Structure 1
Amino acid sequence: MNEQLQQTLQALQGGVTGLDASSAISNISAWEQTLGGAGGALTGQLSSLRSMLESGDLDGAAAMLPSIADATEQAAQMAPAADQDGLRQLASMLRP
């Protein structure tokens, strides 16, 4: 499994509310860089999520998580086989 994906899963072991905003922003920024233009709509959603966290809009950020989970689950279908289960697990962790 991709190391960045492993780190993200570890960071979310305590649930999304257990991750402090600055760690979440750092993690999201890293994913934005990794995905770049190849991430399509997911990259845009991550950018919006990061902006909400930076501005302190935690309710707005929480409202975005289900759609990001859906996009992550869709991405799992096209990901390398070694990352598919991890991406599905990540999608599950992002759902309330």
Structure 2
Amino acid sequence: MKPAVKYTLGRLGLFLAVFLALFLTPLNILVKAMVAFVAASGLSFILLRGWRDDMAEQLGEISARRSAEKDRLRSALAGDEQAAADGDRVAAADIAEHPKRADV
């Protein structure tokens, strides 16, 4: 499972657990939801640290790949033939790995 999905589901699960625990109290439902939201945020900061770090690492890798591709495209548009050739090889390898994406 992707780290971002796992972390999101973990946060949602913490919220629901706290909300259900507060369901026995005589508070208004909106107050229960607000308290559950704040409590789940604090608990997720402590309990889901590893999942949050995994998600941050995944997002950092995606950002680095996009930045590198953007730099390569800028070089290719500026006339760098080597960057354009590198992009052709990357596109051919991507099509070979994911043929359904080539239809888009």
Q: TM-score, normalised by structure 1?
A: 0.32
The structure that has the greater radius of gyration is 2
